[in-house]
């Protein structure tokens, strides 16, 4: 009977708002943990829990073979990897470095090439779920990298994430995170527009927020329509056709009603107008009024 390979020792560099709660969930990792942060105060609680503390990224790499990096930006990631006291100074062949910072996908690809020259694997592995998700161990992590590197990080990542997705080769994790955050922040902009409409209508904006959070938890929010494998136009025999047609018809009706309310209240709703114009095409459908009349504007 072949015994399972021992768990790798994990390193964690960057113990800020996200990194600290993620690393805390690795304190009992069977292979051991070593942490590093530029601020001594960030490592004190880890040291008190019996976790090894390294003085530099190079020292982490000398002691660990799976290393997570959660720092601020591209420049800091580059310094942690290639600086005078960086990971590549001491990393052993076969080491896997996971960058959780949201950086440019081109930076991830470039740094992966530098790592590969040293027989080190880099994965870009940005996360979604914020500090609450990190504390609860409920983050989603989007991994770009080789199959072997993905296999190496799945165990440690499972301590702080309950969704680990292999997005594709290096760079794919970052591209998926950018697409996810596009939805996130455009949704925030739409939420601000909806709040203005509610406020001008004399409603309690906080109660509207309560309704939004409740219903999105049930329906899945905007992610509920992201189950198709493509954004191409729907064909007549596609099983999604009746579902998306219903979404389009309901959405266009409600957007028109909201725009009418906004006109009566003197509230500008530019995103709602954009939504009415582009909803159908985004769902892979023709705009029904334009299809039948050829009109450019049916609002």
Q: What is the pTM of this model?
A: 0.89
Contact between 7 and 30 under an 8 Å Cβ cutoff? The reply is: yes
Q: Residue 3: pLDDT band by 50, 70, 90 thresholds? A: low
Asked if pLDDT for residue 101 goes beyond 70, the answer is: yes
Q: Which residues are catalytic?
A: 177
Residue that the structure tokens 């600290």 belong to = 20
How much of the chain exceeds pLDDT 90, in percent?
92
Lowest mean pLDDT among 15-29, 47-61, 219-233: 219-233
Higher pLDDT, 294 or 92: 92
Confidence of residue 288 (pLDDT cuts 50, 70, 90): confident
Q: Grade residue 291 by pLDDT with cuts at 50, 70 and 90.
A: very low
Q: What is the pLDDT of residues 131-185, one digit of tens each?
A: 999 999 999 999 999 999 999 999 999 999 999 999 999 999 999 999 999 999 9
Question: Is residue 299 scored above 60 in pLDDT?
Answer: no
Question: Averaged over 211-226, what is the pLDDT?
Answer: 93
Q: What is the mean pLDDT of residues 60-80?
A: 98
Q: Which residue has the higher pLDDT, 236 or 293?
A: 236
Tell me the domains of the chain and their CATH numbers: 10-176 (3.40.50.720), 228-299 (1.10.1040.10)
pLDDT of 289: 58
Share of the chain above pLDDT 70, in %: 95
Whole-angstrom CA distances from 270 to 27, 181, 192, 274, 287 are 49, 21, 12, 6, 19
What is the spatial distance between Cα 299 and Cα 285, in angstroms, rounded to a whole number? 18
- What pLDDT score does 156 carry? 98
């Amino acid at each position: 009977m072949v015994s399972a390979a021992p768990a790798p020792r994990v390193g964690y560099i960057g113990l800020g708002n996200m990194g600290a709660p993620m690393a805390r969930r690795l304190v009992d990792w069977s292979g051991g943990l070593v942490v590093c942060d530029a601020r001594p105060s960030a490592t004190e609680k880890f040291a008190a829990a019996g976790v090894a503390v390294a003085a530099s990224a190079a020292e982490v790499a000398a002691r660990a073979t799976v290393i997570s990096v959660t720092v601020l930006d591209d420049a800091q990631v580059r310094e942690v990897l290639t600086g005078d006291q960086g990971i590549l100074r001491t990393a052993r062949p076969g080491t896997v470095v996971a960058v959780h910072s949201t950086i440019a996908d081109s930076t991830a690809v470039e740094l992966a090439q530098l790592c590969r020259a040293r027989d080190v694997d880099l994965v870009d592995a940005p996360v979604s779920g914020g500090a609450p998700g990190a504390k609860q161990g409920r983050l989603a992590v989007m991994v770009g990298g080789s199959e072997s590197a993905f296999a190496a990080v799945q165990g440690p990542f499972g301590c702080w994430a309950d969704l680990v997705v292999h997005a594709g080769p290096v760079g794919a994790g970052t591209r998926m995170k950018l697409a996810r955050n596009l939805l996130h922040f455009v949704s925030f902009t739409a939420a601000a527009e909806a709040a203005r409409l509610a406020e001008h209508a004399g409603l309690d904006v906080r109660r509207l927020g309560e309704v939004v959070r409740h219903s999105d938890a049930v329906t899945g929010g905007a992610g509920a329509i992201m189950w198709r494998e493509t954004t191409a136009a729907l064909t007549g025999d596609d099983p999604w056709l009746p579902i998306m047609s219903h979404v389009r018809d309901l959405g266009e009706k409600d957007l028109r009603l909201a725009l009418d309310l906004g006109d009566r209240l003197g509230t500008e709703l530019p995103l709602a107008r954009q939504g009415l114009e582009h909803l159908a095409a985004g769902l892979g459908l023709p705009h029904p009024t334009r299809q039948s009349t050829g009109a450019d504007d049916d609002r």
